[in-house]
Amino acid sequence: MVSGPAQAMDASPIPVTHYRTVKIDDIDIFYREAGPADAPVILLLHGFPTSSHMFRNLIPQLASRYHVIAPDYPGFGQSAAPDHKTFAYTFAHFADLTDGLLGKLEVKRYAMYVMDYGAPVGYRLALKHPERVSALIIQNGNAYEEGLKKFWDPIKAYWADGSPAHRKALEVLMKLETTKFQYTDGMSDVSRIDPDNILHDQTLLDRPGNMDIQLDLFHDYGSNVPLYPQFQAFFRERKPPTLIVWGKNDFIFPADGAGPYLRDLPDAELHLIDSGHFALEDKADEMVPLIRSFLERKLPAS
């Protein structure tokens, strides 16, 4: 029998994460899933250039009370990566496939954690099913033109004409130096950044055909901007409980994009974190308590 100080340790079971793949519209979609099947659902939507891997540490922190689902989009992580000539790599398509996954899992209501690319995927889902969104957690995910600053200038040029020259100019965004930059720039303590993240993401970026997949997506990101007024109308009309935890030193999605949410969601809780793009890698010890507190207050576990 164990006695002494060990008895004071938390005896709560450690949540188990399952790694699953299902076919949605004949495309293999990989997702991580954890937590009680009958608990409120938290949908985690990842950014570029990563995958559901970015949530690997957050999932166990939520799964004791919530049913957590974190998919990989096609061309990312462990999901299929069909040829860009035969598959439409668009944010509308990603939203449809995510909706199909939730349908297959019989999920009718969910809170969304959106980051980077996850924001337009999630907000498109919200336009399709506004009544299903129980809450929002926003981390460096844009819905306001104020958030599209200097980083986006060459991408905007590509949106304007789609020329081969402007497409070629964006290839640097898939290079190792850019992946390193995304994980280290603006971080308060680089020693907290696991270098395996960079290796993981870059290995997947370097797969044959993936450059064109990502360039197609950079071009299609321009289709999200005309939807910003609709996203903002959703915020105003539905007023989902919202937590904003934003790495304020992010060059890609700077803090200029965080404050405008309060115009449409004046009751949102806004926290600017002393971190960069992938703030969860640097400041999980600060962010996780904020996230758990928000969910416990706004989305009580059943």
Amino acid at 220: D
Work out the angle at residue 42's Cα, subtended by the Cα atoms of residues 38 and 44, and round it to the nearest 5 degrees: 140
CA 77 from chain centre, in angstroms, equals 13
Question: What is the residue whose two structure tokens read 């903002």?
Answer: 232
Work out the angle at residue 49's Cα, subtended by the Cα atoms of residues 88 and 103, and round it to the nearest 5 degrees: 55
Amino acid at 34: A
Active-site residue (options: 53, 166, 200, 277): 277
Look at residues 261, 270, 271, 269 and name the one whose alpha carbon lies nearest to residue 235: 261
18 is catalytic: no
The DSSP annotation for the chain comes to ---GGGGGS--PPPPPEEEEEEEETTEEEEEEEES-TTSPEEEEE--SS--GGGGTTHHHHHTTTSEEEEEPPTTSTTS----TTTS---HHHHHHHHHHHHHHTT---EEEEEETTHHHHHHHHHHH-GGGEEEEEEES---SGGG--GGGHHHHHHHHH--HHHHHHGGGGGSHHHHHHHHHTT-S-GGGS-HHHHHHHHHHHTSTTHHHHHHHHHHHGGGTGGGHHHHHHHHHHH---EEEEEETT-SSS-GGGTTTHHHH-TT-EEEEES--TTHHHHHHHHHHHHHHHHHHHHS---
Amino acid at 276: G
**Catalytic residue ranges:** 277
